[in-house]
Structure 1
Amino acid sequence: MPMELAFEALGSGPPVVILHGLFGAGRNWTHVAQSLAAEYRVYLPDARNHGASPWAESMSYAEMAHDVLALIEQEALQRPFVVGHSMGGKTAMTLALSHPNAVAGVAVIDIAPESYTGQFSSYVSAMRNLDVAGAASREIRRALAESLGAHAPVDFLMQNLRRERDRFDWRLNLLATGLCMRDLCDFPAALRDARYEGPALFIAGAESDYLQPASLPGIRALFPGAELARIADAGHWVHADQPEALLCGLNDWLREACALAQN
């Protein structure tokens, strides 16, 4: 069963749904959404087990795509454009490939329809191993940095910390995230023969290893009309590293895709 996702919405115009990545929340994309809201109605949902959305034991890409489809139907959105980063990008691809008539186009940021290995499991383990309830936020930050090393996105992970009744807890469902990590790092095998013929933009951070030119043949096997853009001086978190360059690319693509949809 799909879950009813928490979300924020702003602006008016053609609908755009932005899907955040693992360990994130819709609010991570507020700056981008505020800029797009001049021309679009922008929706920022929290994925299941993230932010203010409900928790669940499982979080496959098929399930998360159904959650987004339920939001589209609940809000009576007419074929929105779906933008997704990392985990959200895989969710966006899954939605487009499994329900191609539900979306007008997809923009996928720094991820490909491939399997990945990385440090995400170590992030979950480090967060679960901390007794955050009675600790101060600076102590939690220091402990995460010591556990994960200098290059870990500690400040980003700390955004999952919430205070309730003078005690800290994690917004993120760490148990489910850890148990589902293999699926989250993979891409649904059931979609290998699917096709999405609509507009598709893939944006890579030039300093990131997640989306390389070598991935393009596999991308175009699923998304024949895919365009690939690279943003200079941006790592995996493109929206944090180069927000204006990302906005420029998204705006150009959205305007072109909107014009195509109206013809």
Structure 2
Amino acid sequence: MERIVGGEGVELAVERVGAGPPVLMLHGSGGGTHSWRAVAEQLADRYEMWLPARRHHSPSGDGAGRHTFARETADVRALLDAAAGPGRTPVHLVGGSAGATVALHAAAADPAGIASLTVYEPPLHASGPRLGPVLERYRATDDPDAAARIFALEVAGAPPALVEAMPPAPPEVARRSLHAQGHELEAFAADDGDPARFAGITVPVLLMQGAETWDPVPAVLDRLAAALPHAHRAVLPGQSHFATATAPELVAARLAGFLAEVDGAERLSPPRAR
């Protein structure tokens, strides 16, 4: 486990797997360095996979004040610079769920050194003033299971039947998620979720989703595809929002194909003016 200093001096814990061109993978709400590991291991023979724990997610630090996407963008920039190394190798940026939203913000704010962007079901619908009262109720409960239900139903918009079927998390995991998702909600509530803001992202983008995911995620991806000038789509059959856990081989195969295509195009393109 390594430590990278992010924005405002926040320490970010990072695991690295494999060797090759760097790939930085951002996990979703309540996740950690483990969240992308099953996918990363499928690609470690070709790429150096960087697996950080985002701020507010153990064992990374917190920082002071309310959580914002701008603060996480600074963290991502520090991680990109570390992954690029002294040779300034372009980095493939990947995000899942809330990590996908962070990746979009980071690529829009500062695309320097980003070779490509892959996002799996960014929950842009989880945004805006409607989440203010949700955040208040979330903060008011000290029951991690009740908080998890609030987050799943009222923030992520997961189907009630799916939420009811989810087993309770172990107490320590639930406690860490309660902390992390509360901060996540702060950023969501202050954001407008408009995909049009990302129209300036000009690197190749892969938009991934599960064929069985819940509404309004497919509509969000449609709007993103319309906004982004170089967007590709990948719909994974039989999968929902959790494909990185339920079908890591499938996710890895689609991601590997996209990265190889981007890397091949980069090698064939004329040298960039410096």
Q: How high is the TM-score relative to the length of structure 1?
A: 0.77
Question: Once the two structures are superposed, what CA deviation does each residue of 1:77-115 show, in whole Å capped at 9, x if it has no partner?
Answer: 522101101111111111111112220000010126x43
Counterpart of 2:19 in structure 1 is 12
- In the TM superposition, 1:54-203 aligns within 5 A as 54-56=61-63, 57-75=65-83, 76=85, 78-111=89-122, 114-116=124-126, 125=138, 128-130=141-143, 151-152=162-163, 154-155=166-167, 158=169, 161=172, 169-170=175-176, 172-173=179-180, 175-183=182-190, 186-187=192-193, 192=197, 194-203=199-208
Which segments of 5 or more consecutive residues in structure 2 lack a partner in the other structure? 1-6, 154-159, 269-274
Counterpart of 2:235 in structure 1 is 230
Q: RMSD value over aligned CA atoms?
A: 3.6
Once the 2 structures are TM-superposed, how far is the Cα of residue 158 of structure 1 from its aligned partner?
Answer: 2.4
3-state SS of 2:222 partner: helix
Q: Distance in 1 between matches of 2:76 and 2:148?
A: 32
Q: Distance in 1 between matches of 2:113 and 2:225?
A: 20
Change (3 A) 1:160 1:259: farther
Q: Distance in 2 between matches of 1:144 and 1:215?
A: 25
- In the TM superposition, 1:30-45 aligns within 5 A as 30-45=37-52
Q: Distance in 2 between matches of 1:199 and 1:160?
A: 41
User: Identical aligned pairs, as a percentage?
Assistant: 25
3-state SS of 1:67 partner: helix
Change (3 A) 1:126 1:257: same
Change (3 A) 1:91 1:188: farther
Question: Once the two structures are superposed, what CA deviation does each residue of 1:192-216 show, in whole Å capped at 9, x if it has no partner?
Answer: 2751221110001111135326743
Amino acid corresponding to residue 74 of structure 1 in structure 2: A
Amino acid corresponding to residue 76 of structure 2 in structure 1: V
Counterpart of 1:219 in structure 2 is 225
Contact 1:127–1:144 at 8 Å: present in 2 too?
A: no
Q: Distance in 2 between matches of 1:10 and 1:210?
A: 34
**How many pairs are equivalent?**
244
Question: Once the two structures are superposed, what CA deviation does each residue of 1:44-88 show, in whole Å capped at 9, x if it has no partner?
Answer: 011111121101333222221210111222342522101101111
